[in-house]
Amino acid sequence: MVNRMQFYIDGAWVDPAVKKSTPVVNPATEEAMYEVALGSKADVDKAVAAAKRAFATFSQTSRDERVALLSKVIEVYKGRLKEIGAAVSDEMGAPLPMAEKLQAGAGLGHLMTTLDVLKNYHFEEPVGTAMVLREPVGVVGMITPWNWPLNQIACKVAPALAAGCTMILKPSEFTPTSALIFAEILHEAGVPKGVFNLVNGLGPEVGAAMSEHPDIDMISFTGSTRAGIDVAKRAAPTVKRVSQELGGKSPNVILEGADLTKAVTGGVMHMFNNSGQSCNAPSRMIVPLSKMKDVAAIAKAVADKTKAGDPRAEGTTIGPVVNRGQWDKIQGLIKKGIDEGATLVAGGPGLPEGVNKGFYVRPTIFADVTPDMTIAREEIFGPVLTIIGAKDEAEAVQIANDTPYGLAGYVTGASVEDAKRVGRQIRAGNVNLQGVPNDRTAPFGGYKQSGNGREWGKYGLEDFLEVKAVAGFNAA
């Protein structure tokens, strides 16, 4: 039985300083499933004190000790994959098979990749007469979102453990159970007390207390750009490191000569995956203007086959979005698209046919979108695709880069060479060519208002390391 009314601090489950809770609502039924405790500054102070004490010894552990620890975490995690998947499905609405395979699987993938990196990473490097040492940054505050809960928790916790850091995690209040299971996994794996701590709570209370805390050396934040700005402002007076993975409005450029059916079908399916609730979703499809009608027809065929329904029912493609607030925001933006003159190709406002409850969004496609329309500029975070026409390759690149965001970009051309040429010009931290998915060993993160710092693989480990130059170390 998962313990939702206590926090995990200093190796034990403890009561909150003040009794306060919030309901966790199943987005498929709109019904509250249970309550989860909410923390306060006092709980954060207690967790930080534990992490600070633990850092003195955990930071001095050897690579072999941390390899053994991560290996044990992986072993225990594997035994709870199905349970994690079920929790994610119930709390944020992902279809159960997708939640088990991709949501829970992503956490396992990051743990395993980090273990491989740790085994071979060079923490010491001679540079002239100096030795450059890479040492753990210290106590890390982690704030994670609801859309890919285990992906974001594991790609922070795994490298922090590998680096020798100690940490406090505040998961999203909308998806607390998978994070609590993760705490149980770390406890069972023998993570020393105080190294990992978990405090549930709200951003303006627990998140703010963490961002401002003088004994937290780094904040690793994933969420909206608006919340990321607030975290950075609060962190500034203590000059702590702030690593952020924020919003996106990622372009999907389909070039003249590309296999249109394959590129458009893949792009729409990717956009609708996870109900469009991915920061790197290819939400702006930029196509040759002359092909707009053909593209719209292909996209509509995919939307018509996309079934929004019960996450546990067979044949469901996408589940609901996470909560009422998100549903209302998405509905407002769909209406805005219609009001501003975009062509509604599929979907539209309201619930899908045959559905009378749950936060379900109709798989929606707009064609003839212009770059100045609201739906082309704002992150919708739902299954809503905008199709924009470009008269040539140069204009396609210009439209792709005409955004305050820069998390991801996608390019499909007649050849890899065509895709490479355009991919080099896109101002984003991740660019996918010819439908090839991300590689967990490569860095993940954004340009511009999509954040700073990098996660995943070797680059993710280095985000949690300080660099020390010791002159004279190599002197004769």
Active site residues: 245, 279
Q: Is a pLDDT exceeding 90 seen at residue 267?
A: yes
Query: How far, in Å, CA of 268 to CA of 246, rounded?
Result: 22
Q: For residues 139 and 238, is the Cβ–Cβ distance under 8 A?
A: no
Q: Do residues 102 and 136 both lie within one domain? A: yes
Q: For residues 34 and 52, is the Cβ–Cβ distance under 8 A?
A: no
Query: How far, in Å, CA of 241 to CA of 219, rounded?
Result: 6
For residue 112, give both structure tokens. 């395993």
∠ at Cα 387 (382, 388), nearest 5°? 130
Q: Do residues 283 and 242 both lie within one domain? A: no
Q: Do residues 183 and 54 both lie within one domain? A: yes
pLDDT at position 1: 79
Over residues 208-227, the pLDDT tens digits come to 999 999 999 999 999 999 99
Confidence of residue 475 (pLDDT cuts 50, 70, 90): confident
CB-based burial, 404-416: b 16+ in 10 Å, e otherwise: ebbbbbbbbbeee
Which ranges of 320-440 does DSSP label H, i.e. alpha helix?
324-339, 374-377, 393-401, 416-423
CA distances from 146 to 41, 45, 150, 179, 355 (A): 22, 24, 9, 10, 24
**8-state DSSP, 202:** -
Query: How far, in Å, CA of 16 to CA of 394, rounded?
Result: 57
Q: Do residues 266 and 168 both lie within one domain? A: no
For residue 318, give both structure tokens. 């996408």
pLDDT at position 476: 64
CB-based burial, 310-336: b 16+ in 10 Å, e otherwise: bbeeeebbbbbbbbeebbebbbebbee
Over residues 297-337, the pLDDT tens digits come to 999 999 999 999 999 999 999 999 999 999 999 999 999 99
Q: For residues 337 and 380, is the Cβ–Cβ distance under 8 A?
A: no
476 or 398, higher pLDDT:
398
Quick one: angle between helices 105-120 and 81-92, nearest 10? 130
Confidence of residue 455 (pLDDT cuts 50, 70, 90): very high
Q: Do residues 119 and 231 both lie within one domain? A: yes
Q: Do residues 357 and 237 both lie within one domain? A: no
Is the residue at 137 inside a domain?
Answer: yes
Is the residue at 287 inside a domain?
Answer: yes
Number of domains in the chain: 2
Q: Is a pLDDT exceeding 70 seen at residue 10?
A: yes
**8-state DSSP, 311:** T
Mean pLDDT of 77-103: 98
Q: Do residues 227 and 149 both lie within one domain? A: yes
475 or 328, higher pLDDT:
328
Quick one: angle between helices 416-423 and 393-401, nearest 10? 40
Domain of residue 227, residue span: 7-246+450-471
pLDDT at position 102: 97
Q: Do residues 211 and 171 both lie within one domain? A: yes
Over residues 167-193, the pLDDT tens digits come to 999 999 999 999 999 999 999 999 999
Residues 6+ apart with CB under 8 A from 293: none
End-to-end CA distance of the chain: 61
